[in-house]
Amino acid sequence: MKKYFYSTIVFACLWVTSTAQPRFPAPEFESGYVVPITQTVHARSLVFEYLDVSVLFVLLCLMSWLVIKKRSRKAIIWTSIFSIIYFGFIKVGCVCSVGSIQNVCLSLFHADYVIPITVIGFFALPLLFTLLFGRTFCAGVCFMGAVQDLVNIKPKQLPRTLERVLSIIPYIYLTFALIIASTGADFIMCRYDPFIGFFRLSASLGMLLFGAGILIVGIFYGRPYCRFLCPYGVILSWLSRIAFWHTTVTPAACIQCKLCDTSCPVNAIDKPVALKPESLEKGRHRLLIILLLLPIFSITGGFITSRLYKPLSTIHQTVHLAEEMKWETDQGKKTGSIESEAFHTTGIPATQLFRDAGIIQNQFYWGTWIGGAFLGLMFGLALLKTSIVRRQTIYEPHRGNCVSCGRCYKFCPVEKEVKNRTLQNKKEL
Amino acid sequence: MSSSIKTLARYIAYISVAVIVFVSIVMIMNYIQIKKYEPIQGHSIDKLVEKLQASPDDKELREQIRVVDLLSRKAYFTSNWQIKSGGFIILVFIVLFLISIKIYTSKESIESGKSEKLDHFWFIKSKERKWLFISVGILSLVALFLSFNTRKYYTDFTTYVAKSEESKEVTESSTKEIQSTLEQTSTQTTDTASSTEVNKEGATVTSNHIPTEAELKANYPSFRGAFGLGVCYAANTPTQWDGALGKNVIWKKPLDLPGLNSPILWGDFLFIAGANETKRKVYCFDRLKGTSKWTKDVTNIPGSPKSVPKVSNETGFSASGLVTNGELVFAIFATGDLICLNYKGEQVWAKNMGMPDNHYGYSSSLQVYKDKLIIQYDDNKSRKIIALSTSTGKEIWNTSRLGSISWSSPIIVSKGNTAEIIVNNTPYVASYDAETGKENWKTNCLSGEIGPSPAYSNGLVFAANEYAKLLALKDGKVVWEGYDDLPDASSPVAYNDLLFMTNSYGTIVCMNAKDGSVYWKKEFDNGFYGSPVIADGKLYVIDRSGQTIIIGKATLGEKSDCTPAFAKGTVYIRGAKNLFCIGSK
């Protein structure tokens, strides 16, 4: 019943905020101009920014302790609720660790962009904690993950194959988001953040529906955004695989009851696999072929993605405006758009704009080549993974996919037994 | 394969078949409809056109034909679009049907038992691999499809800029070559005779003819009259005419090439130019009778580019006004081709000024000062004011200017023996010594794409542009500023202490030139592209529909974006099709 209670609270809060009205409604312009949806929030004072980083650090420490040592699902839930309140409602979701990748990327490619130290903190702390303790950030410190975790009241599992196919999406999203951010065009992870509208009281209907859709899907299938969209999750997943300490399903010996496998809402439990030497031959030959094909996948990925550089580059305002100016030049008419009028008043020659657009397009061209090669490589590695088998005797969490939510703890009979024994020992003492 | 996925696949297959059948029926119906009735060649339009031929003045019928024609074309193209889109939809749903039917009919896999764990593992992995291939393959195909289909809609700006720069370099190098040839020719001919020169075509030219100020004012030698100031000194200019009805139209002549330059007049000669992508012509008419004196094809200009520049329809290839000094007439085109002709239509000299890198098309008009042909040659690469010898075409001075491209024309302010050339661009209004080309002053005050030329009266220079402001300057210093009803294509005109401005929104405003206060403002239905001219104490301006706003209205009967030219008792107007001479019949 508790899960229904928590979920009801979360939905009620999100519903109230999504239907709230700004205190002063935006004016209606006769020209038809529509006030754009706010993309950024007001800057917080430096003290509060440091406070935010401190809170993040404390929460990461607490969550890591709860996941690795305390193994308390209940405590994880309460920490998640705090995270939603603090990072979601109070801090209105900005800066968040997910979006901070874009700031870091922009700062790497644009010397004139100075990245705030607090943003670096939001970017680096979760990575560091993941490297040490696995994805404890995803467990509930990330307010987006926390929201999805709380609404997951009827967990069902997706077919593995479908899950494998959908898991390509975060790589694609990450690649394109970084290309776009590195050219200074836009921060699309922030623009298309499905939950931020609930916390900021301002989002387009489309984004609100998108967010609501994800939450509704999340009732049945655990954390759809984390698993099939989150670009930050890609990096966390890599680091989690080599984490020094990672949570386990059971605190003692696994009795192979399969309960954890059934209970995991994100399909992150690896089953035991018995190895037969003769069967391994099946994979070896395929493995070799895929290894040889890796460079080809990479080059093909680069080639295909680079074909999209022109339409993709129009996301950048300069290229978009240049297309508009070229249209005006070709047609001998003015588009009449605000951007066009503003450009004409600057007195900058159109050729200068075209030249700037050319430079940006060149950045997109190489960006899409590199990004596409990365995607091709990831595809090859994904295929490679399907040809590798390793001996496993117990049920254990997949280090990359497990979000350390702790749901499996309460299903594990060994966990219960250990807890009862500990309790008894305490009583005896 | 779980039964739920199979069920889903079955439903998808049903839906796909339904969509395919539905779209196919729609497409067949559409095809039959198009076959049966080809909208563009509809008989109803033929009948209406026949009716119109019987009664050509029936405006309602004309409008009806336009509506029917538009509807027919819309219907035709919509049908074509539907066929293409329908085909695409069918293809997509066929693929969907095949995939779903494949899933539905696939054999139930044998769930591995506990003893076959590894085989089951490989089975799962094999399935994952297959679907990874399929999904990534589909994504790649979609990406390739999008890239090839969107290629034509987007510009590669690196190539675009490189191409335009390349063509500019080629033109510049060929121009330099031609200039050196011309210099050699001029050295040879200077020795031959002081008063008379013979060019290679054998045309006789009186050299170094210097028109007096009185001569210039007595005629209409350039765009907006003498010195380009927009003031005409002819008397009894007509105020009533109707081009469509022929009222007061002394003659009208069609011109075979389009152009936006306005007629210029000297004595009985009327000059005008026209051009398209392939041809450039200068026309000369007897301004009294309307008979053609000669037409000169502007061809074989040394250094003329092989390909013409891209210009907007609203500018065209012959927007720049001609100029004459009473013995020679000069014309320049969007290709940078500059020609000097004598009054017999013989080429005296010609050169290419370098193809202008101008995204709308070159449109600055020419001016003459004494023995100098004044050219404002602004493009995206450089801004120059150039003086060429009227007799030889040799460069006398060439002054580079700061700022951006403009489409305005120079005006000349005569000050006894000296004169100032006033030009504007973004962001400067500047004055240059007409003799030496040295800059007298410049003021940083304008912005945007400058189309309107400056105006001058009683020591004040007036410059204005849309989205910028209106300024009155005295020796480069701002006297007053205005911000309303700014011109965009047409130029302001100043007369004594009055300043008039028109714009494409249809506003005419009259201001006190001394302090910028508005005397009156009137709005009209049609906008103004042509510039206003003061003639015989009246303000003349032609709106885009061809109505000339004077005190009353006079209709031309066809559209016009030009500025009228005046002679005693007559006014000359270039319409969209015809050149009109209007006076009292």
The sheet with strand B477-482 has its strands ordered as: B455-457, B460-464, B470-474, B477-482
A329: nearest CA partner in chain B: B359
Out of B312, B381, B427, the one facing A347 most closely (by C-beta) is B427
Residues A379 and A244 occupy one common structural domain: no
**Residue A401 forms part of a structural domain:** no
Residues A244 and A284 occupy one common structural domain: no
**Residue B585 forms part of a structural domain:** no
- Chain A residues lying within 8 Å of B529, measured CB to CB: none
Residues A222 and A322 occupy one common structural domain: no
Residues A241 and A294 occupy one common structural domain: no
Q: Which residues pair with B373 in a beta bridge?
A: B368, B388
Whether A113 contacts A225, CB under 8 Å: no
Out of B127, B148, B359, the one facing A329 most closely (by C-beta) is B359
Question: Does residue A232 come out as left (phi exceeding 0), alpha (psi in the -120 to 50 range) or beta?
Answer: alpha
- Chain A residues lying within 8 Å of B133, measured CB to CB: 383
**Residue B584 forms part of a structural domain:** no
Whether B449 contacts B505, CB under 8 Å: no
Residues B224 and B122 occupy one common structural domain: no
Element (DSSP H or E) covering residue B457: strand B455-457
Residues A289 and A240 occupy one common structural domain: no
**Residue A27 forms part of a structural domain:** no
B357: nearest CA partner in chain A: A351
Residues A212 and A321 occupy one common structural domain: no
Residue A283's domain comprises 277-387
- Chain A residues lying within 8 Å of B408, measured CB to CB: none
Summarize pLDDT for B250-291 with one digit per residue, the tens: 888 888 899 999 999 998 899 999 999 899 999 999 988 889
Residues B142 and B177 occupy one common structural domain: no
**Residue A268 forms part of a structural domain:** no
Residues A231 and A299 occupy one common structural domain: no
**How close does chain B come to A346, measured CA to CA in Å?**
6
**How close does chain B come to A302, measured CA to CA in Å?**
11
**Residue A102 forms part of a structural domain:** yes
Residue B101's domain comprises 3-163
- SS3 label, residue B355: coil
Residues A66 and A213 occupy one common structural domain: yes
Along the 429 residues of chain A, how does pLDDT read in single tens digits? Answer: 565 666 676 666 666 555 555 555 666 676 666 666 555 566 677 888 899 999 999 999 999 999 999 999 999 999 999 999 999 988 888 889 999 999 999 999 988 888 999 999 999 999 999 999 999 999 999 999 999 999 888 888 898 889 989 999 999 999 999 999 999 999 999 989 998 888 877 778 888 889 999 999 998 999 999 999 999 999 999 999 999 999 998 888 888 888 888 889 999 998 887 766 555 666 778 888 889 999 999 999 999 999 999 999 999 999 999 999 888 887 777 777 888 888 888 878 888 899 999 999 999 999 999 999 999 999 999 988 888 777 778 888 999 999 999 999 888 888 888 888 888 888 887
**Residue A6 forms part of a structural domain:** no
Residues A62 and A196 occupy one common structural domain: yes
A22 Cα distance to chain centroid: 28
Residues A218 and A294 occupy one common structural domain: no
Q: Which of B8, B115, B119, B125 best tests the A interface by mutation, with the highest count of A CBs <10 A? A: B125
**Residue A407 forms part of a structural domain:** no
Residue A242 CB neighbour total at 10 angstroms: 12
**Residue B368 forms part of a structural domain:** yes
Summarize pLDDT for B324-357 with one digit per residue, the tens: 998 999 999 999 999 999 999 999 999 999 889 8
**Residue A328 forms part of a structural domain:** yes
- Chain A residues lying within 8 Å of B468, measured CB to CB: 345
Residues B222 and B158 occupy one common structural domain: no
Residues B157 and B234 occupy one common structural domain: no
Give chain B's domain count.
2
Is residue B209 classed exposed, middle or buried when 0-12, 13-18 and 19+ CB atoms within 10 A define those classes? Answer: middle
Residues B47 and B153 occupy one common structural domain: yes
**Residue B560 forms part of a structural domain:** yes
Residues B179 and B90 occupy one common structural domain: no
- Chain A residues lying within 8 Å of B150, measured CB to CB: 310-311
Q: In CATH, what number is assigned to the domain containing residue B384?
A: 2.130.10.10
Q: Which of B7, B136, B405, B529 best tests the A interface by mutation, with the highest count of A CBs <10 A? A: B136
Cβ density class B132-160: b for 16+ within 10 Å, e for less: beebbeebbeebeeebeeeeeebbbbbeb
Q: Residue B582 has which token pair? A: 């209007």
Domain boundary, last residue among B135, B163, B191: B163
Determine, for residues B380 and A349 on separate chains, whether the beta-carbon distance falls below 8 Å. yes
Residues B148 and B9 occupy one common structural domain: yes
Domain boundary, last residue among B125, B146, B163: B163
Residues B539 and B517 occupy one common structural domain: yes
User: Residue A409: which residues within 8 A CB-CB, separation 6 or more?
Assistant: A71, A72, A73, A249, A415
Residues B159 and B176 occupy one common structural domain: no
Residues B400 and B524 occupy one common structural domain: yes
Residues B189 and B284 occupy one common structural domain: yes
B469 Cα distance to chain centroid: 23
Residues A291 and A198 occupy one common structural domain: no
**How close does chain A come to B492, measured CA to CA in Å?**
19
Residues A204 and A325 occupy one common structural domain: no
- Chain A residues lying within 8 Å of B135, measured CB to CB: 165, 168
- Chain B residues lying within 8 Å of A273, measured CB to CB: 117-118, 121
- Chain B residues lying within 8 Å of A384, measured CB to CB: none
Domain boundary, last residue among A352, A367, A387: A387
Q: Which of B157, B357, B363, B382 best tests the A interface by mutation, with the highest count of A CBs <10 A? A: B157
Residues B76 and B214 occupy one common structural domain: no
**How close does chain A come to B379, measured CA to CA in Å?**
9
**Residue A360 forms part of a structural domain:** yes
Determine, for residues A330 and B155 on separate chains, whether the beta-carbon distance falls below 8 Å. no
- Start-to-end C-alpha separation, chain A: 34
Give chain A's domain count.
2
ipTM: 0.79
pTM (two decimals): 0.51
Q: Which of B128, B165, B505 best tests the A interface by mutation, with the highest count of A CBs <10 A? A: B128
Determine, for residues B310 and A329 on separate chains, whether the beta-carbon distance falls below 8 Å. yes
